[in-house]
Amino acid sequence: MASKIKVKAKLSGDIADIKSLMIHPMETGARKDPETEELVPAHHITQLTFTNNDKTVMVANFSTAVSRNPYFSFKFSGAKAGDTLKASCVDNLGGTDELETVLK
Amino acid sequence: MHVGRRFFLRSGVALAALAALPRVLLAAAWPDKAFSSSAAGEAMVDLLGTDQTIPSDQIKLKLPVIAENGAVVPVTISTSLENVESISIVVEKNPRPLAATFEILPGTAPEISSRIKMGQTSDVMAVIKTDSGIYSTAKEVKVTIGGCGG
């Protein structure tokens, strides 16, 4: 299955500017299904981790209060062209997803 | 293909064990208790050990003044404070106030942006933990349509 994470990385000098987007419903567990009137169980990303050449550069912990299809951006230094940036996420139901990009 | 009942049961158990594994690993890192707190102060005590923060003007919190849609509220936090260890977003009047927390590792800039949900008009607090203390700044966002189940 194709990864549901999208990552855009921009290098300026040794600083990498990372913008990421995940496709995920981020259900809070408090919403009712309009047809069945039953609560939709919580289903959300709990943790998003970025590693650059196996060095962890960011750990983001999400609750249900992060919007559907989460957007997240950050910057880190010590990056160079050719580095492998890996984004991986885990959700509360044990689902996982990951994506690798090469910085340029 | 014929699959014996015993085999079917056994593979089922193995699959269940596999599915449970990442959640066990996760529980160590993901601050479950802080995220399930229904009071902002309690969530901060669970996450950072205290709900006392030092107001700081060195934190830049960028938020809309009025959010037309509470389901998508863009937020950007950056700071000139040094040795930042984590950045957290706390929405005081959300049913679960702690929205997200980001670990800032060495080499990573203390500057993040994301999008959060807000149930109603509330103060949004950026809480920054550094090696010298816990700092915060807050801003009110007016929400015209709630983002939680509405």
Report domain extents, chain B. 1-30, 32-143
Q: Are A17 and A10 in contact (CB under 8 A)?
A: yes
Q: Looking at domain A5-102, does it have CATH number 3.30.200.20?
A: no
> What mean pLDDT, rounded, does chain A reach?
91
Topology of the domain comprising B32-143: Immunoglobulin-like (2.60.40)
In angstroms, the Cα distances linking A95 to A46, A65, B1, B79, B140 are 10, 18, 28, 33, 35
- B108–A32 CB contact, under 8 Å: no
> What mean pLDDT, rounded, does chain B reach?
83
The question of ipTM being above 0.85 is answered as yes
Interface residues from chain B to A (CB-CB < 8 Å): 19-23, 26, 29-31, 35, 71-73, 91, 94-96, 98-105, 107-109, 111-118, 147-149
How far is A74 from A99, CA to CA, in rounded Å?
Answer: 17
Structure tokens, A4:
């549901």
How far is A94 from B21, CA to CA, in rounded Å?
Answer: 8
- A67–B71 CB contact, under 8 Å: yes
Q: At B49, phi and psi to the nearest 5? A: 90, -10
Structure tokens, A70:
């989460």
Q: Rounded to two decimals, what is the model's pTM?
A: 0.82
Quote the minimal CA–CA distance from A92 to chain B in Å. Answer: 7
Nearest residue on chain B to A14, judged by CA atoms? B107
Nearest residue on chain A to B92, judged by CA atoms? A65
What are the pLDDT digits (tens) for A44-87? 999 999 999 989 999 999 999 999 999 999 999 999 999 999 99
Q: At B58, phi and psi to the nearest 5? A: -90, 5
Percent of chain A with pLDDT over 70: 99
- H or E stretch covering B77: strand B73-79
Whole-number pLDDT of residue B33:
87
